[in-house]
Amino acid sequence: MVSLKKKMTSLFRSRSLRKHPWLVILSPIVILYLIYFCFFKIDPPTWGLDGKPIDDYKFAYERENTFYFPFTNKFKMPKYSYKKKTNWLFNDRAEDTIPEGHIAHYDLNKLQSSANAAENKEHVLILTPLKSFEQGYWDNLLKLSYPRDAIELGFIIPRTKKGDHSLKKLESAIKKVQTAKQGDKFSKITILRQNSKGFETVPEKKEVSEIEYEKQIRAEMALARNELLASTLGPQTAWILWLDSDIVETPPSLIQDMTHHDKPVLAANVYERYKDRESGELSIRPYDFRNWIESTEALQLASGMQEDEIIVEGLAGISTNRQLMTHFYQQDGSPSSEISLDGVGASCLLVKSEVHRDGAMFPNFPFYHLIESEGFAKMAKRLTYEVYGLPNYLVYHQQD
């Protein structure tokens, strides 16, 4: 500093200053620059692996797939501390010395699944095992009025030629939505591919009995659902809506309507539109018969079965006398009417996330002689969660 002071003094006394008065203006600038250089020196810009300065974006590690920059001293990981180290005057480093998400804390006791889900922006995870991409399913999904920034989508697709074709169509549809304006994007979309052919591959009916055929295809579907659920359920998820890929018509307010009931497990009534051959008029008929109320006859039948045997509703030769929710439908009935159920289908099924977190899954093995979605209902009830259905709230399966 002493040498600097002498140099500056000699500069002001020199003849060159008299000959060049513009130096009077530049001298204070030079002095300020020297002071800044001595006391507040800034390192040269740090460049990311993609050739751009890191200051161009906040979290460069997201693009570089690393948590810090290995070629710089500035961004080496500091000692474990959550205190932000910043220069009060010149802050030339990223906002956080520890990468965002390094350690995340979630209090699931504060996670709510309430009757006011839309107002509270409670996150809904819509899960779909995708056998084939149906445009009607996707169009209906886009009509849902629940805030999209609170909706996550999850798909699982078999590794088959048909699955490959469905994947291309799904990705194309997703791209159109996710590249639109911010308000129209879904919060997150996950696509899984099964390592095997999975739930799309079924045995030939002639090779096995009808009951064994149902057992195998439902076991494969149960595995797909469990894999999809385990891979997508996040700490922010409040509700899970199971929606099959062949459900092509629902009310736009589907999520709001079903969450408003505030039930742990709630099934909609799945019907199908068809054209009557005689009259030529459009009509509706029941489609999903897995929503039922248990009967004494079915319990007695199960008591005499082997452990690996299952009861499949509707098969010839099996009389259960269960009450099916499809038969409770009343055309002039209230859509909000509820009934208690013992078995459910997963075509359109709303589940509070705490039910799945507590261990209720889709058994791919006989569970009290039930399997897949019906076994899930039994498991949820064993965990003391009540299961309900909406007999007058219709959603529609595509016409076979």
pLDDT for 233 equals: 97
Read off the DSSP letter of residue 348: E
Q: Is the pLDDT of residue 59 over 70?
A: no
365-390 residue pLDDT tens: 999 999 999 999 999 999 999 999 99
pLDDT of res. 276: 83
In the prediction, which pLDDT does 75 show? 46
| Topology (CATH) of 117-397 | Spore Coat Polysaccharide Biosynthesis Protein SpsA; Chain A (3.90.550)
Arithmetic mean of pLDDT, 212-224: 92
Of the pLDDT bands very low, low, confident and very high (cuts 50, 70, 90), residue 251 is very high
**Beta-carbon neighbour count of residue 258 at 10 Å?**
25
Angle among Cα 232, 234, 240 to the nearest 5 degrees reads: 70
Predicted confidence (pLDDT) at residue 263 exceeds the cutoff of 80? yes
Whole-angstrom distance, CA of residue 288 vs CA of residue 293: 14
Give the pLDDT of residue 99. 52
In this prediction, residues 295-305 reach a mean pLDDT of 93
Task: Give the start-to-end residue ranges of the domains of the chain.
Answer: 2-39, 117-397
Q: In this predicted structure, what is the pLDDT of residue 106?
A: 79
Residue 143: partners with Cβ closer than 8 Å, 6 or more residues away: 252
Least confident of 77-91, 138-152, 178-192, 274-288: 77-91
Pairs from 228-231 (Cβ < 8 Å, separation ≥ 24): 228/127, 228/129, 228/154, 228/155, 228/156, 228/192, 229/127, 229/356, 229/361, 231/154, 231/190, 231/192
Please report which helix (H) or strand (E) contains residue 181, including its range: none
* Contact between 124 and 241 (Cβ < 8 Å): yes
Please give the Cα distance from 285 to 67 (Å, whole number). 56
CA separation for the pair 167, 188 (Å, rounded): 17
pLDDT at residue 342 greater than cutoff 50? yes
Give the global pTM: 0.75
Give the pLDDT confidence of 117-130 residue by residue, as tens digits. Answer: 999 999 999 999 99
Average pLDDT over all residues of the chain: 82
Q: What integer pLDDT is reported at residue 73 of this predicted model?
A: 46
Residue 277 pLDDT:
81
Which segment of 28-32, 33-37, 81-85, 186-190 scores lowest on mean pLDDT?
A: 81-85
Secondary structure (3-state) at 346: coil
* pLDDT value, residue 22: 55
